[in-house]
Structure 1
Amino acid sequence: MSDVIDFLERMGQDAQLRHGSQEEVELALASAEIAPELQAAIVAKDQAQLEGLMGQTPLCAVYFPGQEDEEQEDETEETPSREPGESPELRRAVVPAG
């Protein structure tokens, strides 16, 4: 598998190879020690077949911060102190000038 990755890396770095004809890619693959079915997938530019042959699947993950991160963020912000008896609505309405 590392031979395939090495070849694909080389192909990605070499514009002439990446945009080359099928014959140029086949010639470059001939010197690589890659299984014929993997070579065929590379020449055909068949990503799904290549992933299947290599036993790989695309992975996509999304991370959303939880409540804990938001609470920590709130603690770091400067919050004006509230006078005894002052309503929260009034405190929110006060905005520093400037």
Structure 2
Amino acid sequence: MSDTIDLLERIGQNATLRHADTAELAATLEKENASASLLAAVASGDRSHLAEELGNKSNEPPQSTNFPGHEEEPDDDEDDSVEAPEHPTPDRRRNSPDRQ
């Protein structure tokens, strides 16, 4: 298994291997005595062959996140002043006895 990991690391570091076609990569891996699982994964494009060799452990995402909370900020367009009531109170000056 460590040989497989070493070969995968070399493929990742070498742009020529990383972007090689399937036949070229398979030929290179055969020369390096790669495992049957790695050769099968390259030939089929199915990584499940490697998952079996490397332990096939599922990687469940954590249930919590490390991101800070987000609070929405008020819009700048909204007016923060007090709104007039729907039913304005009558003007007391109009009904006062002084105005008659």
The bucket for the TM-score relative to the shorter chain is: 0.5 to 0.7
The TM-score normalised by the length of structure 1 is: 0.52
Q: Which runs of 4+ in 1 moved over 6 A?
A: none
What are the equivalent positions in structure 2 for 1:1-98 lying under 5 Å apart?
1-62=1-62, 64=64
User: Alpha carbons of 1:10 and 1:46: their partners in 2 closer, same or farther (altered >3 Å)?
Assistant: same
The TM-score normalised by the length of structure 2 is: 0.52
Task: Output the aligned Cα RMSD.
Answer: 2.2
1:11 Cα deviation (Å)?
A: 0.8
User: Alpha carbons of 1:20 and 1:12: their partners in 2 closer, same or farther (altered >3 Å)?
Assistant: same
Stretch of structure 1 that moved more, 3-12 or 31-40: 31-40
Q: Percent of aligned pairs with the same residue?
A: 34
1:49 Cα deviation (Å)?
A: 2.4
The alignment covers a number of residue pairs equal to 65
8 Å Cα contact 1:42/1:50 also seen in 2:
no
- The runs of 5 or more residues in structure 1 that have no matched partner are 66-98
- Structure that is richer in helix per residue: 1
- The runs of 5 or more residues in structure 2 that have no matched partner are 66-100
